[in-house]
Structure 1
Amino acid sequence: MNLLVTVLTETDAHELAPLIMPPLAFAGIAVAVFAALGFVTWSYRDVANRHSNKSAKGGHDAHGAGH
Structure 2
Amino acid sequence: MISILFEEGVIIHHTELPIPALLFGLIAFASFLVLAAITWSYRDVANRHSHKESGSRAGH
* TM-score, normalised by the number of residues in structure 2: 0.69
**Counterpart amino acid of 1:39?**
A
Instruction: For residue 42 of structure 1, give the secondary structure of its aligned residue in structure 2.
Output: helix
Q: Counterparts in 2 of 1:50-65, with a 5 A limit?
A: 50-58=48-56
Identity %: 45
Runs of 4+ that moved beyond 4 A: none
Instruction: For residue 55 of structure 2, give the secondary structure of its aligned residue in structure 1.
Output: coil
Q: Counterparts in 2 of 1:1-67, with a 5 A limit?
A: 3=1, 6=2, 10=6, 15-58=13-56
Q: Deviations over 1:17-39 (max 9, x none)?
A: 21011111101000000100110
Q: Structure 2: which 5+ residue stretches go unaligned?
A: 7-12
Q: How many residues align?
A: 49
Q: Name the structure where helix makes up a greater proportion of residues.
A: 2
Q: Structure 1: which 5+ residue stretches go unaligned?
A: 60-67
